Amino acid sequence: MLATAHLSRSALLFLSRREGLKDVATRLGPLRELAGRFIAGETLEEAVQAVKALNAQGLMASFDHLNEAVRTVEETRAEVGEYRRLMTRIDQVGVRANVSLKLTQCGLLFDKALALENARAVVSEAASRGSFVRVDMEQSAVTQDTLDTVRALHAEFGEAHVGAVLQSYLRRTEADARALCAERVRIRLCKGAYLEEPRVAFPDKRDVDANFIRVMKVLLDSGVYHGIATHDERMIDATLDYAERQRLPKGAFEFQMLYGIRRDLQVQLAKTGFPVRIYVPYGKYWYPYFMRRLAERPANLWFVVKNMVKG
Ligand code: FDA
């Protein structure tokens, strides 16, 4: 059973990187419908409506415009434009939300300087509005470049306007967490969602979880405002326990979860007075994001197969 789960995870993550499927998938009706559980819509307005509903339940949000692994300069410029529109709309509507951005969306896979320039434009817009940009973490091949870019932006705009993401499955993460905390960079800690070699990432879930708890403690000890991003109740309980033992006030950090996953837990945690932020992806290119969500839980795959056969 475990071996089958591992196989389907690897297969789904492999498929998530097939660029050619990005456009094809968006035209597949049943797949698109199922993706609707995890994606707030294809348009900015649909995402705004989803965030309004979350806000009404006491949940904050982070919008993410889906379009990773972008390959042309023009497309990266269009992404910057989308984020400017998004931040304008956040202010107009007055929703409680910030934004999340991927550097491969800004051109990191073919031009690092361009990616920095584009990300800088987005963070600059956020800073002028008193908002915050979380730079998502992608595959390990871009970890160092991503952290270098965040450090450059942090040096220019400060901790209130830009932050990083670290993944507990990576062997390097504890060292990165200690270094970034010393520099007062805000971190979102998650487990990690990409297909990685055992050389760079722990293959065993128990090690990923143990590292999550180790790094969570480093973050909570740092006095910087971080995000603990997980739906794993054991990770959440360990965080609540540690925060209580360290006598941290409820607003010292926030919990973060993904749109459409464990909605019960999202609301329950918010009701206890802890800040909770929901990651709200939207856009046409939902395919790789959707495949990573399927890979996280083999049961999701059976749900898809059942629905495709039925439909
Ligand atoms: P785990 O996978 O152990 O799941 C715990 C429980 O949560 C499951 O038992 C199930 O109940 C539920 N669950 C989790 N995933 C589910 C799914 N897909 N469908 C249904 N139920 C599910 N990754 C990354 O590499 N870079 C990034 O920048 C980010 N950003 C990010 C932001 C936020 C706010 C979150 C919450 C997560 C990310 N991630 C991410 C994804 C993260 O790395 C990880 O893959 C998922 O959060 C799943 O891990 P859990 O911690 O939930 O634990």
DSSP secondary structure letter of residue 168: T
Taking the CA of residue 192 as reference, the ligand 1 atom at the shortest distance is 43
CATH number at residue 50: 3.20.20.220
Convert the pLDDT of each residue in 219-272 to its tens digit: 999 999 999 999 999 999 999 999 999 999 999 999 999 999 999 999 999 999
Higher local confidence (pLDDT), 203 or 18: 203
Determine if ligand 1 sits within 6 Å of the CB of residue 165. Answer: yes
Cβ of residue 60 lying under 6 Å from some atom of ligand 1: no
Q: Decide if pLDDT at 303 tops 80.
A: no
* Structural domain count of the chain: 1
For residue 138, give both structure tokens. 């992608």
Range of the structural domain that residue 167 is part of? 39-285
Distances from the Cα of 260 to the Cα of 68, 103, 191, 279, 296, angstroms: 20, 24, 18, 9, 14
- Give a yes or no: residue 32 inside a domain: no
- Confidence grade of residue 21 (pLDDT, cut at 50, 70, 90): low
Tell me the C-alpha distance between 106 and 110, whole Å.
Answer: 10
Spatial separation of the C-alpha atoms in residues 12 and 8, rounded to whole Å: 6
Q: 186 an active-site residue?
A: no
Task: Evaluate: CB of 300 within 6 angstroms of ligand 1.
Answer: yes
Q: Which atom of ligand 1 is nearest to the CA of 277?
A: 34
- Give domain status of residue 28, yes or no: no
Give domain status of residue 26, yes or no. no
Asked whether residue 11 is domain-assigned, the answer is no
Token readout for 62 is 């982070």
Task: Report yes or no on 293 lying in a domain.
Answer: no
142 CB under 6 A from ligand 1? no
Active site residue 136: yes
> Is position 237 within any domain?
yes
